[in-house]
Structure 1
Amino acid sequence: MTAVSTPGPETYGPDRRALFESEATALYDEVLAAGGLPASDERIAEGGERHRPFALLAELGLLRRDDATDTWVAEDPSTIQSRVVSPLGQEGARLLDESSQWARAFAGLSTSWRRSPQSAGQGPFTYLHGEAIDPFLAGLVAEAEDELLTAQPQAGRDAPSLAIATERDTAMLERGTRLRTLYQHSARRSSITHQYVAAVTARGAEVRTLDEFFNRMIVVDRRVAVIPAADDLRTAIAVREPSVVAYLVDIFERTWERGRPFANRESSMMKDIAAEQRAMTIRMLIEGHSDPVSAKRLGVSPRTYAGYVADLKEEYDAETRFQLGYTMGTRGVSGNETPGVSGG
């Protein structure tokens, strides 16, 4: 019987998972359906076409050799899964903690730099590139004394970045600093965003959502704002010019007033949100934006946006987008109607 050692987190990375998903699972299903795989099968021999996925299954313990029949048989994956998943989860948690520790270690140096004459000599605008952005933000948030304002479009907030943001922002809130965050309505469908919102609102933060598209923005104590310098988010600008920061804060405040509380799940409000997203879809169609642009403006995937358009086609009994546009035009539908009111 082949011995299987307990894997470390470095053992099973993206490449081996790709092999597992693309080839090994199919071979496992084949073995399971056939009741076994002869050890003499040439496909699994060294150099054979199925050797790599077979070797991975054997290493994982998903295939066990039955010496009595000289056959490889399938094992219950539920007894194997924890040996792979648990170490990866533990390593992920360790890396997140280590990342936070490094951010705190750099925060003191960042504070010293920003208060030094050299920093002042850089002027009111500082360009940040790539990996320099997150440490800079961590240092700013660590220094926040009064209030943090953030505008976060749904796109781009993945699980690792939200996990780091949760630890960073809850620590800030526990120091007594206020936090207000804006998302697009589409963020309400994200489970990881719900987890983040639950963590920060439990400590006094306020979170709202809006149908409109907006760019990412962070403002610390109304003295420094960080905004993207390009669409790919790999370059950011730290703005210290008081008049520009005040202008950005004014935009945030006006947008905030139109937002809807994230925690409010009343059916009437959810209907209003659905109506706002429908209206924005209509405006995107009328204005002639491409699907990728429209999806980005709504903060959803192109597939979800296509679903919104399909719903409108069904609602207006249209087979093509041209027919949909014509029908909405003849009924006076513009996407600017009061929620709940459409052309008749």
Structure 2
Amino acid sequence: MTDLCEEGTQLYATALSTGRIARAEIAEAPCLLDFALLHPDPDDENWLRPVPPSVVLAQRLHPLEREILDRRRMSIELTESFEPFMALSALAPAPTHAITVLEGAKRINAALNLATAECRHEVLTVQPGGGRSEHILKQALERDRPLMERGVRMRTLYQHTVRHSLGTMAYVDVMSRGKVEIRTLEELIGRLIICDETVAFVPAHDDQQVALELRHPGLVKYLIKVFENLWSRATPLREEAPYEPTRDGITGVQRSIARLLVEGHVDEAIARRLGMNVRTCRAHIAKLATALGSGSRAQLGYLIAQSGLLDEDHPIPGGDAHP
């Protein structure tokens, strides 16, 4: 504690002026005794005499000055201990923080905000899953609008299912006023954000609470190649998605579901990978079963394999729109 209470300040001044003060008067100002500003009057126990301020100040400064000296000595010892390593570090190449682990949404968003604020040329984004919540879209708009205003090029990959999300499409309409290109695919890899070919962000856990910030040039270049591969196969958002049924009445999304069924994935996993809810996924499975004449889940897998639906030369839904 370094400040006197207001009442104590006034009483101490009075005591210095008069030479003493009645003990009863300081009942409401315990700070006087905390600071040792008064001591008992040897002639009358009902009175207290003031301790000279110069004495009080010296008593309170002494431990502080001693602590400062101790810390100064510690800093000198630490400097001497690390001096040999500093010399070695000066000769070595500057380290690169190739991978930084970001824990928690707050830290992840802070790193993303910093990277996008420094971005000057292009942002590449892969956003798997279906439509976004209003909260997430609001955050994205606040982060992306300055990029659009600076003329930064943005290319984003979504899954086909966002075409049915009113909120996501409204966000897209706002962003399309800038240098923004958006394409969709049936299935995507995990979330990916790349800024200016210098830094990339990928999730480390499925719960989106841990992410990796990657700055190693080789890693970033590799991820850019992955993005470009996906981009070349995707359909521009303003073009019709390859959902049209083939001659056997099975759509492109149902063919993707069929492939995942044969691989042994459960409904929840299929829905997550294709960016749709489980109810929609099961509706597609039911239509697939009807088209193939299946009466059970086990029979459906057999009929898919026998139908040739997954053969490489099977007509791709939508024709040339989805190479």
Pair in the same fold by TM > 0.5: yes
Could you tell me which of 233, 238, 244 is aligned with 1:271?
244
What's the counterpart of residue 203 of structure 1? 178
> CA offset at residue 155 of structure 1?
4.8
**Alpha-carbon deviations, 1:152-174, whole Å to 9, x = none?**
01258321111121232122111
2:162 is paired with a residue of what secondary structure? helix
Q: Which runs of 5+ in 1 are unaligned?
A: 1-116
Kindly indicate whether the alpha-carbon contact (under 8 Å) linking 1:127 and 1:237 is maintained by their aligned counterparts in 2.
yes
Matched residue count: 221
Q: Does 1:285 align with 2:285?
A: no
What's the counterpart of residue 103 of structure 2? 129
Which AA in structure 1 matches 2:220?
V
Q: Distance in 2 between matches of 1:133 and 1:180?
A: 21
Q: Distance in 1 between matches of 2:255 and 2:111?
A: 38
Structure index of larger Rg: 2
Alignment of 1:1-344 (within 5 A): 123-130=97-104, 131-155=106-130, 157-265=132-240, 269-271=242-244, 275-334=251-310, 336=312, 337-340=314-317
> CA offset at residue 271 of structure 1?
2.1
2:132 is paired with a residue of what secondary structure? coil
Change beyond 3 A, Cα 1:123–1:204:
closer
Q: Distance in 1 between matches of 2:132 and 2:307?
A: 39
Kindly indicate whether the alpha-carbon contact (under 8 Å) linking 1:279 and 1:335 is maintained by their aligned counterparts in 2.
no
1:180 is paired with a residue of what secondary structure? strand
Q: Distance in 2 between matches of 1:160 and 1:210?
A: 24
Instruction: Provide the alpha-carbon RMSD of the alignment.
Output: 2.3
Kindly indicate whether the alpha-carbon contact (under 8 Å) linking 2:262 and 2:304 is maintained by their aligned counterparts in 1.
no
Q: Distance in 2 between matches of 1:242 and 1:316?
A: 49
Which AA in structure 1 matches 2:292?
Y
> CA offset at residue 145 of structure 1?
0.3
**Alpha-carbon deviations, 1:177-202, whole Å to 9, x = none?**
10000001111111111011111112
What's the counterpart of residue 67 of structure 1? none
Q: Distance in 1 between matches of 2:186 and 2:193?
A: 19
Q: TM-score, normalised by structure 2?
A: 0.64
Q: Which runs of 5+ in 2 are unaligned?
A: 1-89, 319-323
2:170 is paired with a residue of what secondary structure? helix
2:244 is paired with a residue of what secondary structure? helix
**Alpha-carbon deviations, 1:25-77, whole Å to 9, x = none?**
xxxxxxxxxxxxxxxxxxxxxxxxxxxxxxxxxxxxxxxxxxxxxxxxxxxxx
> CA offset at residue 278 of structure 1?
1.5
Kindly indicate whether the alpha-carbon contact (under 8 Å) linking 2:156 and 2:183 is maintained by their aligned counterparts in 1.
yes
> CA offset at residue 340 of structure 1?
4.3
Percent pairwise identity? 36
Which AA in structure 1 matches 2:99?
F
Kindly indicate whether the alpha-carbon contact (under 8 Å) linking 1:188 and 1:194 is maintained by their aligned counterparts in 2.
yes
Kindly indicate whether the alpha-carbon contact (under 8 Å) linking 1:280 and 1:335 is maintained by their aligned counterparts in 2.
no
Which AA in structure 1 matches 2:268?
P
